[in-house]
Each structure stands twice: as structure tokens, then as C-alpha cells.
A and B are shown apart, each in its own frame.
Chain A
Amino acid sequence: MSLLDSLAAGLNTVASVEAFLALFVGICIGVIGGAIPGLSATMAVALTLPFTFSMAPITGILLLLGVYKGGIFGGSIPAILIKTPGTPASSATILDGHPLAERGEAGRALGMALWASCTADLISNLALILFAGWLASFALSFGPPEFFALILFSLTIIAGVSGDSLLRGALSALLGLLLATVGLDLVYGTNRFTLGNPNLMGGLNFIAVLIGLFAIPEIIAMARNPTAHLGRARSLGGTRVSFADYRKSFRSIVRGSFIGVFLGSIPGIGAAPSAFLSYSEARRRSPDRENFGKGEIEGVAASEAGNNGVAGATLIPLLALGVPGDVITAIIIGAFMVHGLQPGPMMFVLNVDIIYGLFIGLIVSSVFLFVVGSVAIRGFRFIAEVPKRILMPTVLVLCVYGVFAVNNNVFDVGVMFAMGWVGYLMMRARIPVAPFLIAFILGPLLEDNFRQSMLMSGSDPAILLRGPITWFFWALTILTIIGIARSVGRKLAV
């Protein structure tokens, strides 16, 4: 079948009002779901899944993809407005988005988040359509040793988000790594720091830790000084993103999109590390790097490009290999299976109409996202106007509900409160939170892949350098560390 035939078949499949309506509704659900902390894109997709059972396959899958894409963008709304990431992937957006909102430029930050998201989404979808087969076979050459090298490199992001002291950033990261060891041991299944509590066996819930670290310290700080915010601009004002902003950040957006595409096509990493990596790259290359973390619009653009770039690309391993890249695509793969579709190489032969239908739907989704996102920004602007001493208790209650909903477990609410105090102490001691979070995400991956490599080779460390991919990332890691060391040296010399 030629490409044109495939396209025609795809158009035939997708060309129904229901399919596009489902996509649109999906994006709306996603944006709202993503904007509610704790509900998150993952939950929104999981909740929508049962409704797709009775739909035509393409309609159902487009509905879920809409929720996914909407959710990843939606997460940036509370991240910017109330410093609570709606979805883990939007935690990097907080770093500059929230300071912008504090300065009364929430409208600008939200607008940039939307523009960057849509651009990255489009790039990611195009990458999926054009390079799916190639990227998928590349992803399969990632075994544990390659992962280990990649994650080791990703940990160098920490230097980029440490703020003014690298040592304090390192301390923060180490605490995150230590906290991530709670739970069952991968290789032996024995308990680590579970203190006999079954709730700790699964490790600390990621979203509870995340919300605890970002949102709760704000509430605690308000108890310390309830009137600190008075007299500061906080309204959304008339600020809007300008084309000059977009042009200035365009390079970072494109770079972030490609980082997202790359990390998204490798199963098992997900959107949050991608957003942080994109952010730290943008900071490293920016002439205004001092402004990052204090409300730099390019930081918002880079983070949002990084996480939305993942959204289309995670479909690459899903469609081409039948392998889910993260939790969300694991749920989406369920929808395929319910309809008797088996993602994988054969799907490109047997169900080519569905594949091309999906492609067409995905391209349209970037446009829909822009429309829905613009409306959502206007709809949520009132949050910036709520008096802060009413807003904070509301955030508290919202976090309680949201964190509970993630895993239906009251214990997680306790974890959130406890992490809130940890976050508050870190804030007072000027320890940056972002390294803690990155380490908490990447730590288990680093350890697991290290130990899997050791199991594969019978504890021969040579396996960690087994091929060109590992050499590449080791070289990159070493170069980055040298770069960091030199900049530290310069600082000391001054």
C-alpha cells in the first residue's frame, strides 16, 4: 500500500464527527484533570479508560490521547498559579512559572506554557509519524547498561537547578536518593526502611512527595507570616505572552522538544526528567542564566516543551513495539487490547487504517490543544485573584483530596504532610527542592539498572561500557562534570 492509500484509509477511519469530538472532549477532560493537583494526567486517563470500552477503537484511543495531551499541559496551570504541580511532569515549570505569577505575570507564563506545549506537541507528533520505526529500533538497543549511563548523565541536571550553591544542591539530591531507597529491594525482595509498615513496602508515593515538597511549604510559610504577600502584585493583570517572548525562547522550545522526543521514545523514563533536562539545557545556554529560577520566561518555555515533547514520542515504543513507555501509555495499551488490537510491528501491516487515523488525529490534537488551552487559561485566571489567605486553606484541602485519590490511601496524605515540613525546613535552610525531586525520580532507576547490569554480567563492571551508546553517555557525563567543575573553579577564583 502506498503512503497515499494509507493516508486515505486513515482519513476514512478517522473522518467521523465522533472521532474528532472524542479528541476534543478528551483534551478538555485532560486540561481540567491535569489542572487539579493529585488528579494528574495519569488518573484522568485511567478514569476515562472504561468509557472507551464501548466506543469504536479509533474514537476511544483518540479520546485517551486527548486526555493525555491535555493533562500534560493542564498540569502547568496550578504549577504556575499555586506552586502545586498538577502532574509530576510540570514540576519543572514551577521553577520559573511561579516566580512569574508572584510578580503578577501569570498570564504571560501561562501563555508561554501553552505556546511551548503546542509547538512541542506538534514536533513530537511529527517525529512519531516520520521516525517511529527508526526510533523504536534504537530504543530496543537500550538495555540496563545504556540506561545506567543515560541516567547518570541525567543526574548532572542537578547542577543546573541547584541555584547559587552546588553543594547545597548535592546535599538535596543525596537526601532525595536516600528517601527513594525506602521500599522493597529489587533483587532480593527484602525490606528497606519499611519499619514494619505495609504502606511503606511500595516505597513513598511519588505524587505525595512531590505535592508535599512544593505546595505544603507555602502553607507553612504563611503560618509563619500570614501577611507577607500583602502589597505584592498577584493579579493576572493584562500580561500576555508576546511574539517577542516566543521568538526569544524558540531555540529552547525546539531543543526541549527534541529532548522530549528522545527521552519519550525510550521506554521507562517519562516526562518529568525530560522537562528538567530541557530546563537545565536552556539555562546552561542562556545569556540570562542568572535569571533562571527567579522568573525567566524562557525557563517556562523550556520545561513545557520538554514535557509535551514526550507525549507524542511515548507512542513510538507503544505503536512500534507494543511496549508502554510510562504509566499513562500502559493504560492506553489496555484500551488497544480491549478492542483486540495488538500494538507492535504487525499493527502497521494489519491495522494500517487505524495507525494513519491516529496520526491524523494527533496532528489535529495540537490545534485543539491550543484552542482548549487558551480558553482554560481565561477560565483559571480567577485563581490569581482569590485572596491568598482563603486560597491557601483551599489548596490544603485540595491536596488532601488529590493525594488520597492517587492511590486511594490515607497514608499518602500523611506522607504529604510530613514531606511538607521537610520542604519547609529545606526552604528555610536555602536548600533547593528541585535536585531532591530529580534524585527521587531517577535514584531508583539508577540503582535498578546498575544492579540489573551486574546480574547480566555476573558482577563484571565492564558491561557498563559495553557499546557505543554507553560510551557516548559516559563521555557526555564526564564533559558535563568538567564543565561544572570549571565554573565552580571560576566562582572560587573570583
Chain B
Amino acid sequence: MTLRALQIRLGFAALVIAAAMALVAIPNFVSSPSNVRNIVLAPTFWPYTLTGLTALTGALLLFTGWRVDPAILLDEEDAAKPGAWLRLIALAAIMVATMQAMPILGMPLTCMAAFAATAFLFRTRHPIVALICTVAVPLVLYAFFAHVAGVAVPQGDLIRLP
């Protein structure tokens, strides 16, 4: 990707964010009481100010992007490996599943599942170690947080660790 394309895309993104804030988010999700004495004290004042500045930054990004030499390429980081999109979606799914499973399975079990899934997703070269860690890491962390640090680690409805 060229620097120019990046700047222009970011500029557009900033303008879209600013527009969404000003037209949708602030009017709908920031409630301002009717008895506000002065505009600078209103709860909406600060969000609107920031929105304005975001729009300005977006415009500047577009402007400078336009002027940048189109030949400048960004130094490329590590290229994506085949199947990158699939793995990214899978990781997102793991995160969503973790959140959903937490109240049912409890934190230790959910974390074991999440560990196994991510290690498998990354195709580790050390499957045996990964398997041991899958059980050991969440258990050790549970023991530490629950019994040393005294944290109320969420337990599942099914299984309750001591």
C-alpha cells in the first residue's frame, strides 16, 4: 500500500466517524438536561468539540494525503500467511465463545478451552507441551487468583473447583 492511499483512507474514516458522532451518536446517546445554564457546561459540549477536531484531522489527512508523492510505498511488515482471514475470523469466534461460555462453564474451564483452541489455531510445533499447558495454565492461574489473591473467580454451574 502507498502512503498516499493510507492517508486518504484514514482521512475518510475520520470524517465518517465525525459524521456518525455528530449526527447519530451524540444526539441519541448523550442526554443533556434542559436546565443547563451555560453551553460550555453542557454534557454534549465536550463530545461535540472532539467531533469537530476529529473532522478537522480527517480533512487534514485527506489534504496532506493528496499532496503526498504517490510513489512512496509503506515499508511492508510480515506478509499474511495463506488462510489469514479464516484464522482471524476463528480467533474472533474464540473470543465471542469465551464470553458466552464464561457464565456457564466458569473461568477456569473456559480458559482451558480458549487455550486449546488458540494453540491449535496457531498450529504450535509443540502439541504435547500445549496440551499440558492447556490444563495446567488455567488451573495454576485459578489457584493463584482464587487462593492467594482472594479473587472471586467465576465458577460454572456444572463444575465447582475447590
Q: Do chains A and B touch in the complex (CB under 8 A)?
A: yes
B153 touches A401 (CB 8 A): yes
Cβ 8 A contact of A404, one of B74, B78, B138, B154: B154
Output the least CB separation between A472 and chain B (Å). Answer: 24
Q: Once the chains bind, are B90 and A223 in contact (CB under 8 Å)? A: yes
Task: Assess whether A392 is in contact with B54, with CB atoms less than 8 Å apart.
Answer: no
* CB of A187 within 8 Å of the partner chain: yes
Identify the stretch in A83-91, A135-143, A168-176 within 8 Å (CB) of chain B at 4 or more residues: A168-176
Are B149 and A43 closer than 8 Å at their CB atoms? yes
Query: What chain B residues lie within 8 Å of A392 (beta carbons)?
Result: 118, 122
The residue from B6, B36, B47, B141 contacting A430, defined by CB atoms under 8 A apart: B6
> Which chain A residues in 255-285 approach chain B with CB under 8 Å?
none
Task: Say yes or no: B78 contacts A167, CB within 8 Å.
Answer: no
Q: Which A376-410 residues sit within 8 Å CB-CB of chain B?
A: 387, 389-390, 392-394, 396-398, 400-401, 404-405, 408, 410
Is A451 part of the binding interface, using a Cβ–Cβ cutoff of 8 Å? yes
Q: Does A332 have its Cβ within 8 Å of any Cβ on chain B?
A: no
The answer to whether A389 and B124 touch across the interface, beta carbons within 8 angstroms, is yes
Q: A396 to chain B: which residues have CB within 8 Å?
A: 114-115, 118
Q: A191-B31, A417-B99 in contact; A454/B81 too (CB < 8 A)?
A: no
Contact, CB under 8 Å: A410 / B99? yes
Report the minimal beta-carbon distance from A372 to chain B, rounded to whole angstroms.
Answer: 18
Query: How many angstroms between the C-alpha atoms of A417 and B145 in the bound complex?
Result: 20
Answer yes or no: B43 CB below 8 A from chain A CBs: yes
Q: Which residues of A contact B23 (CB under 8 A)?
A: none
In the bound assembly, the distance between CA atoms of A414 and B137 in angstroms comes to: 21
Query: With contacts A190-B32, A401-B111 known, what are 14 further pairs, Cβ within 8 A?
Result: A167-B60, A193-B29, A224-B84, A225-B80, A226-B81, A228-B78, A392-B122, A397-B141, A398-B141, A401-B107, A404-B153, A404-B154, A459-B40, A459-B41
B contacts, CB < 8 Å to A: 6-7, 9-10, 14, 17, 21, 25, 29-33, 36-38, 40-41, 43, 46-47, 50-51, 53-54, 57-58, 60-61, 64, 74, 78-81, 84, 87-88, 90-92, 95, 98-99, 102-103, 107, 111, 114-115, 118-119, 121-126, 129-130, 133, 137-138, 141-142, 145, 149-154
What would be 25 A-B contacts, judged by CB atoms less than 8 Å apart? Answer: A167-B57, A171-B61, A175-B54, A188-B36, A188-B43, A193-B25, A193-B30, A219-B118, A220-B88, A223-B91, A226-B81, A226-B122, A389-B124, A390-B129, A392-B118, A393-B118, A393-B119, A394-B115, A397-B111, A398-B137, A400-B114, A401-B107, A404-B151, A408-B152, A459-B41
